[in-house]
Amino acid sequence: MLKILIITQYFWPENFRINDLVLGLHEKGHHVEILTGIPNYPLGKFYNGYTAINKIKEFYNNVIVYRSPMISRGRSVVQLSLNYISFAFLSSLMAFLFLRKKRYDIYFVYEPSPITVGIPALILKYLNKAPIMLWIQDLWPESLSATGAIRAKTALKIVELFVRQLYKRCDRILVQSKAFIPSIVKLDGDLNRIFYYPNSADKLYRPVKVSAGSTERLLMPDGFKVVFAGNIGAAQDFHNILSAAEKLKSKKDIHWIILGDGRMSRSVKKDILKRGLSENFHLLGRFPEETMPRFFAIADVLLVTLKKEPIFTLTIPSKIQSYLACGKPIIAALDGEGAKIIEEAGAGITCSAADPSELSMAVLKMYHMSPEKRYEMGRIGRKYFEKNFERNLLIDRLQILMTETVEEVKKCGFSS
What is residue 188's predicted lDDT score, i.e. its pLDDT?
84
What is residue 189's predicted lDDT score, i.e. its pLDDT?
82
Judge contact between 117 and 170, C-beta under 8 A.
no
Judge contact between 7 and 108, C-beta under 8 A.
yes
What is residue 77's predicted lDDT score, i.e. its pLDDT?
83
pLDDT tens digits for the chain (416 residues)?
999 999 999 999 998 999 999 999 999 999 999 999 999 998 889 999 999 888 899 999 999 999 999 999 988 888 988 999 999 999 999 999 999 889 999 999 999 989 999 999 999 999 998 999 999 999 998 877 766 666 678 888 888 999 999 999 999 999 999 999 999 999 988 899 999 999 999 889 999 999 988 999 999 999 999 999 999 998 899 999 999 999 999 999 999 999 999 889 999 999 999 999 999 999 999 999 999 999 999 999 999 999 999 989 999 999 999 999 999 999 999 999 999 999 999 999 999 999 999 999 999 999 999 999 999 999 999 999 999 999 999 999 999 999 999 998 888 765 55
Q: Which residues of 251-275 are buried (b: 16+ CB within 10 A; e: fewer)?
A: beebbbbbbbbbbbbeebeebbeee
Write down all domains in the chain, each with its CATH number in brackets: 3-200+390-412 (3.40.50.2000), 215-388 (3.40.50.2000)
Within 13 Å, how many C-alpha atoms sit on residue 247's CB side? 16
- Closest to 321 in 3D by CA, of 41, 35, 25, 21: 21
Judge contact between 349 and 368, C-beta under 8 A.
no
Judge contact between 55 and 85, C-beta under 8 A.
no
Q: How far is CA 90 from CA 34, 86, 119, 159, in A?
A: 15, 6, 10, 19
Pairing of strands 57-60, 63-67: antiparallel
- Establish whether the linkage from the previous residue to 42 is cis, with ω within 30° of 0: yes
Rounded to whole angstroms, the Cα distance separating 18 from 24 reads: 10
Rounded to whole angstroms, the Cα distance separating 148 from 354 reads: 16
